[in-house]
Amino acid sequence: MADHLPVEGVTHSFVEANGIRIHVARAGAGELLVLLHGWPEFWYVYSKLIPQLAPRFDVIVPDLRGFGQTDKPYDGPTDQMTPTVLADDLEALADALELKRFGLVSHDVGAMVAQPFAYTRADRLSGLFFFNCPYPGIGTRWMAPDHVREIWYQTFHQQPWAVDLLGTSREACRIYFKGMLGHWAHDAGAFDDDLEHWVDNFMAPGNLQGGFNYYISIAKLRLAIARGEAPKVPVIDVPTQFLWGRHDPVIKAEWVDRIPDYFSNATVEIAEDAGHFVHYEAPALAADRITTFFDRLG
């Protein structure tokens, strides 16, 4: 992972923030826009989107704690890599880069970070843009009998032998991530051209465990959701837009139904030709909607 994957106009740096060294990919000039990735992802999942946003925005794409080239400050499994800790990382990174106010685009794990950030730091946000987003309104539907088979991986990632199993060879790693990416994308072959980059990333020291630590850290919350005992959260008043892939089997498009209960100023659009990874599968659509949204906010 010493070499950075080439993407037009992107520069790379490392920023000391919240006690760790955060890798940041950056491109463009203009209004500040931070992009947060999910799992199984790292900054490069935005490689198709960044060049389309860079003419209008100063695009900042960090690897989250435990992911990509950002530090893995834990020796092994930990339950300390919660969304709140990752939101603290984001605040520290924004401070280090002197980002007083910025737009925040996020997906999956990144969306779980964006929400606690918005609860307590709304004054720093010009707007929120979400791709397929795990939000509290999904509730116990995560664990419904016809859906629980889709979230098996979250339990698998908590097993103490999971990293040893997937890390036995590049082929084992390749089989796993090809299967996950292909199942969650609308087109099963969407990631074929970049699959080896994913294998390189997750075979790098600490990266399998780094990503899995997120699932260990949210295990108690998952159980609370399953019992219908999830803690209440504030309504987010920051202007928000969702662009949700129609064919996502794990965070379903029909689950947008309760967004008004948790976001007071939100619009929702369904991306009809995308699955879980709208930003990768439909980058032109994503760039157009992000640009239009933030232009409207001024």
Q: Is residue 35 within 8 Å of 61, Cβ to Cβ?
A: yes
The answer to the question of residue 4 being in a domain is: no
* Nearest Cα residue to 193 out of 44, 22, 32: 44
Please state which of the ranges 68-77, 201-210, 226-235, 265-274 shows the lowest mean pLDDT.
Answer: 226-235
Buried b (16+ CB within 10 A) or exposed e, 57-84: bbbbbbbbbbbbbbbbbbeebbeebbbe
Q: What residue type is assigned to position 197 of the chain?
A: H
Indicate whether 230 belongs to any domain: yes
- Which residues are marked as active site? 108, 215, 276
Q: How many domains does the chain have?
A: 1
Specify the pLDDT at position 226. Answer: 85
With beta carbons less than 8 A apart as the criterion, state whether 136 and 262 touch.
Answer: yes
Q: Would you say residue 115 lies in a domain?
A: yes
Q: Is residue 128 part of a domain?
A: yes
Tokens of 263: 């976001």
pLDDT at residue 160 in the model: 96
Residue 208, phi-psi category: left (phi > 0), alpha (psi -120 to 50), beta (remainder): alpha
Model confidence at 1, in pLDDT bands (50, 70, 90)? very low
Could you tell me the pLDDT band of residue 298, with boundaries at 50, 70 and 90?
confident
- Helix, strand, coil fractions of the chain, as percent rounded to 5: 45, 20, 35
Residue 10 near residue 26 (C-beta atoms within 8 A): yes
Question: From CA 75, how far away is CA 226, in angstroms rounded?
Answer: 30
**pLDDT for 149:** 96
For 166, the domain range is 11-297
CA 205 → CA 42, 69, 75, 211, 256, distances in Å?
Answer: 14, 10, 11, 12, 37
CATH number at residue 212: 3.40.50.1820
Residue 167 forms part of a structural domain: yes
- Whether 2 is covered by a domain: the verdict is no
| Residue 151 φ/ψ, nearest 5 degrees | -110, 20
- 128-156 pLDDT tens trace: 999 999 999 999 999 999 999 999 999 99
What is the number of helices (H) and of strands (E) in the chain? Answer: 12, 8
Question: Do the domain assignments include residue 3?
Answer: no
Please give the span between the terminal C-alpha atoms of the chain, in angstroms, as a whole number.
38
